[in-house]
Amino acid sequence: MHLKYILATAVLTAFGFTVQNEQANAGRGEGTTNSPAACSQSGHWIGGPDGEVMSRQKLFQELSTRPLVLLGESHDNASHHRWQLHTLSALLGRSKELVIGFEMFSREAQPVLDQWVAGALTEKEFLEKSDWRRVWGYDPDLYMPLFQFARMHRVPMVALNVDRKLVSRVAEEGWTAIPTEDRHGISDPVPAQPEYRRALADVYRTKLSMMAKGHFKGMASMSKPPKADAAPSLDDVMKKPDFDRFVDAQLVWDRAMAEGLHDAKQKHPSAMVVGVMGSGHLTYRHGVPRQLNQLGTPGSAVLIPAQMETACQLVQDGYADALFTVEAGSDSQDEPKKRLRLGVRLSDDEGSILIQQVVPGSVAEATKLREGDRIVRAAGVAITTTGALVDVIAKQVPGFWLPLIVERSGETLELVAKFPAST
């Protein structure tokens, strides 16, 4: 793939965590929050026109009436993924049927997702066959709790994304230049609203600035790199033909995911369909929600984690239907991982591991593991040595639910070890 294609893709991939702040600035009003106390603590749901603390029970009752629930994220923030896992658990508990669509997989990977949910693949096989490293590239350990959750509960996973080569080609040529037979079945997106274009222009300008400072050596359709002192206004950025193609690529991405969710709802009309994607595709209902409306699936609920210092104001400005408050900068990918402990003393024994002791008050005790149990599989991985189990647990994040297959007195049991959100 040419460098300009790679950069076009990289810009759009970054959209999941970059545009969140950019759109916040673009869409913010001048009002003040009516609930300062709500934003002084993490772990609150903030919503409603007044930006007030929401009852969790009331919120999830409301969500059960929506056709779709869309969960945003910053791709590299572990706390966002824990929030997604807990939200999915709550939605499953209130739904007869659940389906989860993921931005992280292109449509071509759908058979692999089906095999994973059916239990036919190891974690390594799943990541390799879905081409995770090339298509997405973020640390898979951040996402595996979500994928294990779907597998454990036999929840269908839907690949929402489009092949990156098409996105890069659109950024290079524009959508109208792509022949119908090369569009992977994607219909024409709804044009971007002025507010969305302006937010995207801010993202695009940021990338121009990075190029000017030498962080990038090229960009799709750009023959001359900008000068180091170049600082174009948003209005100037939006006049560039390159920017129009950039918007086209973003809209195709939005449209592909909206079509995937719409089709999933048509296939599973009684199910709660949930989409997991970067927040930039959701904020102010500009991206995927707008495309869903045009496809005939209006009324989706947008839920996004946000820093508690800004959540109240953002929700009043229409940033999302509800925000979940998190601490600023908590659990980024760059922070060292805390060690998780199951709370058992183990010994290797004939191709499996034997529990010799369960520590009182530990995760193992809460899981109802017993002395004499043999742990056979953990998170879908065969466990033949103590080290293998240690490696599986080390890859997880606080708040993870670890599915276990255990042999006890000739019986095979399925247990779930639930690690606390903090250690």
**CA–CA distance, 157 with 116 (Å, rounded to integer):** 9
Q: Of the candidates 260, 284, 285, 287, which has an alpha carbon nearest to the alpha carbon of residue 273?
A: 260
List, in order, residues 6 or more apart from 35 with CB less than 8 Å away: 46, 50, 51, 52, 53, 312
Helix (H, G, I), strand (E, B) or coil at 83: helix
pLDDT tens-digit series, residues 287-338 = 999 999 999 999 999 999 988 777 777 877 889 999 999 876 555 444 444 5
pLDDT of residue 410 exceeding 60, the answer is yes
pLDDT of residue 1: 34
Helix (H, G, I), strand (E, B) or coil at 229: coil
User: Which one has a higher pLDDT value, 354 or 338?
Assistant: 354
Outline where 268-367 has alpha helix (H). 288-295, 308-316, 363-366
pLDDT of residue 150: 96
Confidence band for 156, pLDDT divided at 50, 70 and 90: very high
Full set of structural domains in the chain with CATH: 3-169+176-185+243-326 (3.40.50.11550), 344-418 (2.30.42.10)
Backbone φ, ψ for residue 144 (5° rounding)? -60, -35
| C-beta neighbour count of 261 within 10 angstroms | 27
For the chain, give the mean pLDDT: 82
pLDDT of residue 50: 75
Outline where 190-240 has alpha helix (H). 194-212, 234-237
Helix (H, G, I), strand (E, B) or coil at 321: coil
What is this structure's pTM? Answer: 0.71
pLDDT of residue 10: 39
**CA–CA distance, 245 with 222 (Å, rounded to integer):** 11
Question: β-strands 272-276, 68-71: how paired?
Answer: parallel
**CA–CA distance, 54 with 48 (Å, rounded to integer):** 8
Helix (H, G, I), strand (E, B) or coil at 413: strand
Q: Of the candidates 104, 117, 106, 110, which has an alpha carbon nearest to the alpha carbon of residue 148?
A: 117
Maximum Cα interatomic distance, the chain, rounded to a whole number of Å: 73
pLDDT of residue 223: 42
Measure the CA angle with vertex 201, ends 195 and 206; round to 5°. 135
pLDDT of residue 155: 97
Confidence band for 356, pLDDT divided at 50, 70 and 90: confident
Yes or no: say if 253 and 104 are a contact pair by the CB < 8 Å rule.
Answer: no
